[in-house]
Structure 1
Amino acid sequence: MAGIKAFVDSCNGTLSGVPERYMMPNVAADVSRYAVLPIVDVASESFERDLVDACTKYGMFQLKNHGIHTEDVMRCALEFFNSPSEDKMRYYTEEIFTPVRYCTSMMPSKEEKLEWHDHLQMWLKEESLGVHPWPAFPASYKDVGSEYARNIFKLGKRMLLVMSEGLGLRSNRLLEAFADMVLLTRANFYPACPNPRQALGMEGHTDSGGLTFVLQDGVGGLQLKQGEDWYNVRPLEGMLVVNMGDQLEVRLSNGRYKSILHRVMVNSKSSRLSVGAFLGPSLDAEISPIPELVSQESPAKYRSRTYRDYMHLYRGAKFHSKNDMTKVKVLTKSSGFPAGVHSFFSFS
């Protein structure tokens, strides 16, 4: 399956409706409200205090003066998606742990309904960026991607030191828990959609990793859920949208830092491009609430699990829990799995 972009392009502007496979049930009407999110300035004297406050109270914020060159990253991603389908298909796979993966939706062969996006995903380690099998096109992807990944690793480590102290821990405690961390980068392309009320760019979910950094163009479409309502996240030029992932909430911080439910809407006028970077622990790291944060007054809320196993569970929830990704957190609570759930979500 070449992807939704190839399908839309093949229609040459004549696509008048959403194909049945992409029709999502219960897509919400237009949302006019905008979320009020804090702006955390890395260059500010109050950076550390503001960062901890944003992680604790909001779970998502905009990051200013982060020092990362965003234009080249977005340009490379767009050039990849605009390349011929036969070139992109060299990287097509449904295996989520392959070093370089091009796919559409999440896993088309297993999904009843597809999300309106294509993506390019890569698993990266800091020490092996130079030998990573980067996409062959565009030619600058290796240099641009390597610099971007190095800067994200650097920024993420700095933030984790501050966030660790914000939990009352010694500064390197979260870094130790992340143990040989990995970076998952994911560029997402959302073509213009003839009927945005029938399709979703990405369904509501929380992120499976630790820290998420998102570059987005000015089109908009990212939404977060607060209470029972959805709110737009306003694109701000040059800023990174940062949010907590499940490994920080569900396990390490024992619920102190919040991973937030979000989704991506599409529109009929323009395509949208985003590049996400998901900083997480080693796939084989055993992640559980940090013992210093567990007490009789605050018992462990979630059970221990490797990040790899959590990713399998996360993937399985999308296909077997009526697309309610929030159930992943419930299923990893420290009380254990309901009968039969463990095998139900086992994937090789």
Structure 2
Amino acid sequence: MATIPPAEYESRVLKEVNEFMESGIGVKGLVDSGVSKLPSFFVHPLEQLPKPSSEDVQFRIPLIDLKEMETSRRVEIVSQIRDAAENWGIFQLVNHGVPIPVMDQMIDGVHQFNEQPVELKKEWLAAHLSLHYNLNRLPLAAWRDSLACNFPDEKIDEEAIPQICRKAIIEYTKYVLQLKDTLSELSSEALGLKSNYLESIKCMKSAYLISHYYPACPQPELTMGSISHTDSTFLTILLQDSIGGLQVLHQNQWVDVPCVPGSLTINYGDLMQLITNGKFKAARHRVVAKSVGPRISAAFFFSPAVAMCNESYGPLKELVSKENPPIFKPISSSEYFARHRTQLDKDTNTSGLSELMLSY
């Protein structure tokens, strides 16, 4: 078989990407068309693809029950969150206050949106392609379609949400914002600070919801639903269905995040790791592609109030000392998000505080 010259191959790939994006059919459209072989820009480098998992998994994601949180159990719950934040950066919650029917309706709303004809959803898609680049600057796509809704300063603009899933998103958002406030208090206490500390610095006043629809993949061993990354924000609250596929890196081992009925998955991001001076970890995670689906998830990312986006955040003065000096440089959230995006575009295998040269 003749080898295709690099320049010709690059031109061919870019042409495929442009045609796909112009079509607006999304990944689901590929599946509906009966595709059995992935377009080349969905095929990830072998070294970045998941290796067969070992059956003797040593670790389990921490599971925390918020039941009776306002009783003497609060001390236990805060301790569990502290342990999970310091060792994992991620944990799962049950009895979190978000009703299961509301969670189910949210999943169903995302499903209904993505099952619409292309003409009805094209204008709403956050991107028809989740695109990153390899070291040779060739595009790599994630196997998913996405819908994004932005809630700056927690203001819900109903017209910015598709009608077909508007009611479900608004109802779910109201409960998640309440849970975020609870987690803000518990996280503050886990840091040894007053319960209103994180609220007082307005680091989680804006919310960004992105829902993902991962269709069944004909060649899941060749692609990724989401590449390895850390979230750039302070806190993430994730809802996922029963399909599975989310994994977190812990002690150099990829661990499956189980689909616990009625649970939500919580993880901290880079900026939380920064202000806690490394005390709380930003969880590195990914989503593997599967031959079954669709998998549906909805993630809320929390970042500073709009008025604070250009204010610098650095290690909190209460958490540093002569014995524990600051290890990260202060940076504004807007600048950090820009650096994080640029880094992902440069190399799909790195992102995070260390790669962005924020360490002293």
TM range (shorter): 0.7 to 0.9
CA positional deviation for 1:327: 4.8
Q: Does residue 20 in structure 1 map to residue 20 in structure 2?
A: no
Give the unaligned 5+ runs of structure 1.
93-100, 336-348
1:29 match: 51
Letter in 2 for 1:280: S
Output one character per residue of 1:109-167: Cα deviation in whole Å (capped at 9) or x when no partner: x86111111111111135521x34333330xx333222222221211111111211221
Give, in whole Å, the separation in 2 of the partners of 1:205 and 1:179: 21
Q: 1:122 aligns with which of 140, 149, 171?
A: 149
CA 1:318/1:179 → structure 2, altered by over 3 Å: closer, same or farther?
A: closer
Q: Secondary structure at the match of 1:184?
A: strand
Q: 1:80 aligns with which of 75, 90, 113?
A: 113
Q: Does residue 201 in structure 1 map to residue 225 in structure 2?
A: yes
2:212 match: 188
Q: Does residue 255 in structure 1 map to residue 268 in structure 2?
A: no
When Rg is computed on C-alpha atoms for both structures, the one with the higher figure is 2
Q: 1:174 aligns with which of 186, 194, 198?
A: 198
2:3 match: none
- Contact 2:213–2:294 (CA under 8 A) maintained in structure 1: yes
Give, in whole Å, the separation in 2 of the partners of 1:56 and 1:78: 35
Letter in 2 for 1:29: K
- Contact 2:203–2:303 (CA under 8 A) maintained in structure 1: no
Between structures 1 and 2, the one with greater helix share: 2
- Contact 1:32–1:232 (CA under 8 A) maintained in structure 2: no
**Root-mean-square deviation (CA), in Å?**
2.0
CA 1:240/1:179 → structure 2, altered by over 3 Å: closer, same or farther?
A: closer
Give, in whole Å, the separation in 1 of the partners of 2:219 and 2:293: 12
CA 1:188/1:32 → structure 2, altered by over 3 Å: closer, same or farther?
A: farther
Q: Secondary structure at the match of 1:258?
A: coil
Give, in whole Å, the separation in 2 of the partners of 1:157 and 1:271: 31
Q: Does residue 319 in structure 1 map to residue 345 in structure 2?
A: yes
Give, in whole Å, the separation in 1 of the partners of 2:281 and 2:105: 31
Letter in 2 for 1:330: E
Q: How does 1:1-348 map to 2 (within 5 A)?
A: 1=21, 2=24, 3-11=26-34, 15-26=35-46, 27-33=49-55, 35-44=59-68, 45=73, 46-68=76-98, 69-92=102-125, 101-106=126-131, 112-125=139-152, 128-129=155-156, 131-138=157-164, 141-179=165-203, 181-249=205-273, 251-282=274-305, 284=309, 285-320=311-346, 322-335=347-360
CA positional deviation for 1:206: 0.6
CA 1:16/1:102 → structure 2, altered by over 3 Å: closer, same or farther?
A: closer
Letter in 1 for 2:89: G
Letter in 2 for 1:258: K
Give, in whole Å, the separation in 2 of the partners of 1:263 and 1:165: 29
- Contact 2:90–2:266 (CA under 8 A) maintained in structure 1: yes
CA 1:201/1:325 → structure 2, altered by over 3 Å: closer, same or farther?
A: same
- Contact 1:29–1:197 (CA under 8 A) maintained in structure 2: no
CA positional deviation for 1:9: 1.0
Give, in whole Å, the separation in 1 of the partners of 2:206 and 2:292: 36
Give, in whole Å, the separation in 1 of the partners of 2:174 and 2:161: 17
TM-score by length of 1: 0.85
- Contact 2:27–2:128 (CA under 8 A) maintained in structure 1: no
Q: Secondary structure at the match of 1:277?
A: strand
CA positional deviation for 1:276: 0.8
Give, in whole Å, the separation in 1 of the partners of 2:315 and 2:131: 29
CA 1:254/1:260 → structure 2, altered by over 3 Å: closer, same or farther?
A: same
CA 1:239/1:281 → structure 2, altered by over 3 Å: closer, same or farther?
A: same
Farther-moved stretch of structure 1 (200-209 vs 117-126): 117-126
Output one character per residue of 1:206-229: Cα deviation in whole Å (capped at 9) or x when no partner: 111111111111111001112222
1:340 match: none
Percent identical pairs in the alignment equals 28
Output one character per residue of 1:238-284: Cα deviation in whole Å (capped at 9) or x when no partner: 100111111111x2111000111110001113321111111222351
Output one character per residue of 1:4-34: Cα deviation in whole Å (capped at 9) or x when no partner: 11121122xxx22221110001212332555
CA 1:307/1:126 → structure 2, altered by over 3 Å: closer, same or farther?
A: closer
2:4 match: none
CA 1:230/1:196 → structure 2, altered by over 3 Å: closer, same or farther?
A: same
CA 1:179/1:206 → structure 2, altered by over 3 Å: closer, same or farther?
A: closer
TM-score by length of 2: 0.82
